[in-house]
Amino acid sequence: MRALFILPLALLLPGCVASVVKDVVTAPVKVVSKTADVMTTSQSEADEKRGRALRKQEERLGKLARKRDEAREDCADGDQEACARYEALESEIAAEKERDI
């Protein structure tokens, strides 16, 4: 009865050992490969990041421009606070355009 149980284990064991040895041997290569992949940025990833930054800047500029236009209209109606807000928004828009992305 024991022989029937041990015989299949003896036949399967070399395959398991070979699998474990293969995993142990290839593990350092996989670790180095994964580390290098994580540490480097591909050109497409850099392009995507720059594109997102440009879209965010354009969105901020659009919001500031709308606020500036509202302040300009209010300033034309004689609101002195709106005139000050208009000047501040003009400066903020100029600074946003000069900001590096």
CA-based max dimension of the chain: 104
pLDDT at 7: 53
pLDDT at 15: 58
Task: For residues 92 and 101, give the distance between their C-alpha atoms in angstroms, rounded to a whole number.
Answer: 16
Work out the percent of the chain whose per-residue pLDDT is above 70: 68
Question: Across residues 14-27, what is the average pLDDT?
Answer: 60
Average confidence score pLDDT of the chain:
81
pLDDT in tens, 2-18: 555 555 655 555 655 55
Q: Could you tell me the residue ranges of all domains in the chain?
A: 1-40, 56-101
Task: For residues 26 and 9, give the distance between their C-alpha atoms in angstroms, rounded to a whole number.
Answer: 26
Q: Is the pTM of this model over 0.85?
A: no
pLDDT in tens, 44-74: 888 999 999 999 999 999 999 999 999 999 9
pLDDT at 2: 54
